[in-house]
Structure 1
Amino acid sequence: MATTTERAAARPDAHRMLNKVPEVTIWFWVIKVLCTTVGESFADWINTTLGVGLINTALIFTAVLAAVLGWQLSTKRYIPFVYWLTVVVLSVTGTLYTDILTDSQGVPLAVSSSVFAAVLTVVFGIWYARERTLSIHSIVTRPRELFYWLAVLVTFALGTATGDWTLELTGWTPDVSVLLPLGLIAAIVLGWRLGAGAVLSFWLAYILTRPLGANLGDWLGSPGDQGGLGLGTAVTSVIFLVAILATVLYLTRSRSDVIEADDLSQTPRAVNPARERIMLGYYAVVAVATAALLVWAHQQPHAAAAGEADAPAPATASLTPQQATSSFPPADIAKFRTITADTLAKLNSGNQAAATTRVTDLETAWDDAQPTLEPKNEQAWTFLDGEIDHVLKALRAKNPDKTTEVDALNTLLTSLG
C-alpha cells in the first residue's frame, strides 16, 4: 500500500536530502516479513541455542544496532543493503528488549504491550506535531529520518509483545497463530482499497507484520508436536537470511523500489475525507471483532502456548529410580546426574543463561549415548528421554518459569538415583 497521497506533503527546503527509504511495493512487504521472521528466530538461536543469554545478546545487538544505524544515517540516498540490514538488526533488537521485560523483569505481556503502544503513540504524536506528516514518502530531513527509525524500533517491540500476549491468551499453536495477523493484514488491505487513510493503513500493517513474521518463525522452527515444521531456529534463520539477501540483490539491480527525488509523475490517489471517516469505523469494527475473538479463545480450554515453561510431563508410565537406571552403565548415569545437578545449582544461583548453556551438555551426552543405552532397555530409555525432554523444554521456554524448571530438574535427579 503506497502512501502516495502524502508524497507531496509540505517539506522544508533547508537540509533537504534524497528519500532514504524504499517505495512501498509488494517487495517491501515481502522483505519486511522476512526480516521480522529472522528477528524472532535469530534472537532465539543466539540467546537459547548458543546459550549466550538474554542480557548479553541484547547488549551485543544494541552495539550492532548503533553501528548499523550510524551507517544508514551516514548514507546520502536509499541503499537497499544498508536499509534492510538496519531493519533486520532493529527486528532482533526490538524482540530482545521485549523479552528482557518479560523474561528478566517479569513484566506481564499485557503491561508491556500497553506501554509500547503508548510509547508509539507519543512518538507518532511528536513526529506529526513537528513535521505535519507521518508518510514514509516524506523522509527527506534528518529529524524525520530519526523519528522514522525510532517508530520502526517501537513497532518491532510492540509487535513482539502483542504477538506473545496473543499466544499466551489463546494457547494457539504456531500454525494456527499465523492466521490472525495474516487475516488482519488482509482486512487492512481491503480497508485501504475501499478508501481508508493510506498512512494509517501503512502503519497498522507495518505493526502486524511483526507478529506475522514471528509466528512464521515459530511455525517453521518448532517441533512437530508443538504445531511446527521442526526446522529449528538455525535453519529457519539461514533460510530467511538467504531469502532477504536474494531480494535485496534483486532490488539493488532493478531499482524498482527507489523513490526518485521529487518524483510526482504518479497521480496521487484522491483523498475522500468522508470515505476515510467511514473506514475508520470499519477499522474500529475489525478491532472489536479481534478483541472478541481473543476473549473467546482465552475462555476455551487450552494448554499453554507451545514452548512455554509449563510443558507437559512425560506421558510414559513412571518408573522407580532402580527400574530407570539399573540397565545402564553407572558411569553414564553418574555423568547425567552430575550435569543435571550442576544445571540446578546454576539455576538456583540466579544464572539462567549459564543453566541453559549447561543443560545443552545434558542433551548432547544423552544423544551421544542413545545408540548404546536404548537397546539395553527401551522402556527405561524412553522414560528418561521424556524426563530429559521435559527439562529441556522448561529451561528453553521463551518465558521460563523457575519453579517449573526446578521441579523438572529435581524430578530427573530423583529418577537418576
Structure 2
Amino acid sequence: MTTPTTAVTPRSAAGSRLLNKVPEVTVWFWIIKILCTTVGESFADYINTTLGFGLTNTMLLFTVVFAAVLTWQFRTRRYSPFPYWLTVVVVSVTGTLYTDMLTDQMHVPLWLSSTVFSALLVVVFGVWWLRERTLSIHSITSFPREAFYWLTVLVTFALGTATGDWTLELTNWTPARSVFLPLGLIAAIAALWRFGANPVLSFWLAYVLTRPLGANIGDWLASPKTPAAPGEPVGLGLGTFATSLIFLSAILATVVYLAISRSDVAETHEITHVPAVTTNPRRERTALGAFGVLAAATVALMVWAHHQPHVTCDPTGQSETLPACKKAALTSSQTAAAVAKYERLTQTAIAQDKAGTAAASHATVQTMRDDWDADATSLQAVDNATWTLLDGQMDAVLKTYAIDHGGIRPAPAAEQEKQLGILLGDLRNHHF
C-alpha cells in the first residue's frame, strides 16, 4: 500500500504543499512504521524488565520523553524525517506501556481495554471529522489537525497492543505463528485499497494492524529458544536489547536515507508520481462490504483457535503472558504451615539485617517473594481480605529491598528491619 489519497479542497491542497507535517505514504512509510512498532515492544520490555526499571517508572519516563519529542515535532514548520520518526518511535513505546500498565498493574482484562481503546479511537475520529471535515493525512497543515493526528497515533498504538495481546491470550499462538494474522489482514486491506476502498479507512486500519505485526516480530526475535515458563513465548533468542539495537539501527539508516533522498516529502512525491484519487462510490461500497466479511472471518478464526486445545493458565504463576491457574483453598493445617514458613523467613531476614549480611537478607526476602507468589491464589481462596492486607505489607518490604521496584535504591537496614517487623506482626495478628 503506497499513497492513500482523497480529493481535498484547494485550500487544504495548498496547505499540503506548503506546510504538511507528515510524510507521504510510500512503501518506506510502512517499512519504518513496522520497524518502530517492533522497537516499541522490545525496548519497552528491555527498560522495564531487563534493566529492572519497573513498569510504572518506565511509563512515567517515556511519557515525559514523548511530551518532549512531540514538542519538537510541533515546532517544526513542515515534515522533517528525524523529529517525525523519533516521535513515532517514542509513541510506540509509550502506547505499549499504557496498555501494559492497565493489564499488568491495574489488572484490566484485555478484552475490556481493547473495547475501551476502540471506542476512544472512534471518539477521536468523530471529533476530528466534526471540527476539520477531513481525516486525510495529506492535509495536516494546522496545529489542531496535527494534534488530532498524534492523539490518533497514540490511541492506535495502545489499541494495537491490547488487541494483539488479546489475540495471543485467546489463541496461545507462538510469536512466529501470530505474525501471519496481522500480515494477512494488512495484505487484504492493501488489495481492497487497490480495488477502490476508501483510502482513509484503509490507511488507519492498516496503521492499527502494524502494531501487533511489529510486536509479534519483536517477540519472535527476542524470546528465548525454550520457554521460561509454561505458555511463555519462544523465538530466536536474540533478547530484547539485541532486537532493539538491530531495529533502532535499521530505523536510523532508513531515516538518513529519507532525509537525503526526500522521497517521502509531499512536494517531491507530487512531482514524480501521478496522484491516485479514489472517485468510484460503487467500488467503495463494495470494498466496505468486503471489510465486513474480512472482520467476520477474523472473528471466526479467533473463535476456532480459542477452542483448540492449548495451555490457558500457568501452574507456576511465573508467566508474564498467561494468568496463574486457580488453585484450591488450603486446608487449615496447610494454611498454618504456610504462615509459619513466612514468619520464619521474616525472622531470618531480620536477623541477617542485624548481623550486617545485606546480601543474605536480600536472598531470603527474594525467596519469600517467590514463595508468596506461588501460594497467592491458594491463600486468596482461603481469605482474600487477609491476603490483600498481607500482600500490601509484603510489597512494602520488597520496596525497601528494591525487589520488583526498579529505579530505586535499597533502603537502609534499619528501614528494612522496620518493614519486616510490621510484616511479622501482621502475620501473627491476622489469621486466615
Corresponding residue of 1:308:
321
Of 324, 341, 354, the residue aligned with 2:367 is: 341
Corresponding residue of 1:298:
306
Corresponding residue of 1:219:
220
Alpha-carbon distance between aligned partners in 1 of 2:244 and 2:16, rounded to the nearest angstrom = 39
In the alignment, structure 1 residue 350 sits paired with structure 2 residue 388: no
Corresponding residue of 2:163:
162
In the alignment, structure 1 residue 191 sits paired with structure 2 residue 204: no
Corresponding residue of 1:282:
290
Corresponding residue of 1:237:
244
Alpha-carbon distance between aligned partners in 2 of 1:8 and 1:125, rounded to the nearest angstrom = 20
Q: CA deviation at 1:340?
A: 3.1
Corresponding residue of 1:368:
none
Alpha-carbon distance between aligned partners in 2 of 1:267 and 1:133, rounded to the nearest angstrom = 18
Alpha-carbon distance between aligned partners in 2 of 1:124 and 1:97, rounded to the nearest angstrom = 20
CA RMSD across the alignment: 2.8
Alpha-carbon distance between aligned partners in 2 of 1:161 and 1:121, rounded to the nearest angstrom = 16
What whole-Å deviation, never above 9, does each CA across 1:231-283 have from its counterpart, x for those lacking one? 01111000000000000000000000001299587344241001100000000
Corresponding residue of 2:430:
none
| 1:16–1:140 Cα contact (<8 Å) kept | no
SS class of match (2:104) = helix
Q: How many residues end up aligned between the 2 structures? A: 339
In the alignment, structure 1 residue 250 sits paired with structure 2 residue 250: no
One-letter code aligned to 1:253: I
| 2:41–2:218 Cα contact (<8 Å) kept | yes
In the alignment, structure 1 residue 31 sits paired with structure 2 residue 39: no
SS class of match (2:196) = coil
What whole-Å deviation, never above 9, does each CA across 1:342-361 have from its counterpart, x for those lacking one? 54499742368843469xxx
One-letter code aligned to 2:20: N
| 1:17–1:76 Cα contact (<8 Å) kept | no
One-letter code aligned to 1:260: E
Greater RCO (CA < 8 Å, at least 6 residues apart): 1
SS class of match (1:228) = coil
**Structure 1 segment 91-130 matched on structure 2, within 5 A:** 91-130=92-131
Corresponding residue of 2:417:
none
Structure 2 CA distance for partners of 1:15 and 1:219, relative to 1, 3 Å? closer
| 2:169–2:322 Cα contact (<8 Å) kept | no
SS class of match (1:355) = coil
One-letter code aligned to 1:288: A
Alpha-carbon distance between aligned partners in 1 of 2:150 and 2:255, rounded to the nearest angstrom = 19
Corresponding residue of 1:181:
182
Q: CA deviation at 1:20?
A: 1.0
Structure 2 CA distance for partners of 1:267 and 1:68, relative to 1, 3 Å? closer
What whole-Å deviation, never above 9, does each CA across 1:112-168 have from its counterpart, x for those lacking one? 000000000000011111111111111011110100000000000000000000000
What whole-Å deviation, never above 9, does each CA across 1:21-41 have from its counterpart, x for those lacking one? 000000000000000000011
One-letter code aligned to 1:108: P
| 1:58–1:96 Cα contact (<8 Å) kept | yes
Q: CA deviation at 1:42?
A: 0.5
How high is the TM-score relative to the length of structure 1?
A: 0.75
**Structure 1 segment 55-74 matched on structure 2, within 5 A:** 55-74=56-75
| 2:196–2:278 Cα contact (<8 Å) kept | no
How high is the TM-score relative to the length of structure 2?
A: 0.73
Alpha-carbon distance between aligned partners in 2 of 1:3 and 1:169, rounded to the nearest angstrom = 33
Alpha-carbon distance between aligned partners in 2 of 1:142 and 1:310, rounded to the nearest angstrom = 43
Alpha-carbon distance between aligned partners in 2 of 1:110 and 1:13, rounded to the nearest angstrom = 43
Alpha-carbon distance between aligned partners in 1 of 2:312 and 2:170, rounded to the nearest angstrom = 9
| 1:6–1:135 Cα contact (<8 Å) kept | no
One-letter code aligned to 1:237: S
Corresponding residue of 2:51:
50
Specify every segment of 5 or more residues in structure 2 that has no aligned partner in the other structure, as ranges: 227-232, 314-318, 326-356, 374-390, 407-432
Q: Point out the more displaced range, 168-177 or 220-229.
A: 220-229
Alpha-carbon distance between aligned partners in 2 of 1:203 and 1:272, rounded to the nearest angstrom = 20
Structure 2 CA distance for partners of 1:258 and 1:13, relative to 1, 3 Å? closer
Structure 2 CA distance for partners of 1:54 and 1:125, relative to 1, 3 Å? same
Q: CA deviation at 1:228?
A: 0.7
SS class of match (2:128) = helix
Structure 2 CA distance for partners of 1:14 and 1:294, relative to 1, 3 Å? closer
Corresponding residue of 1:367:
none
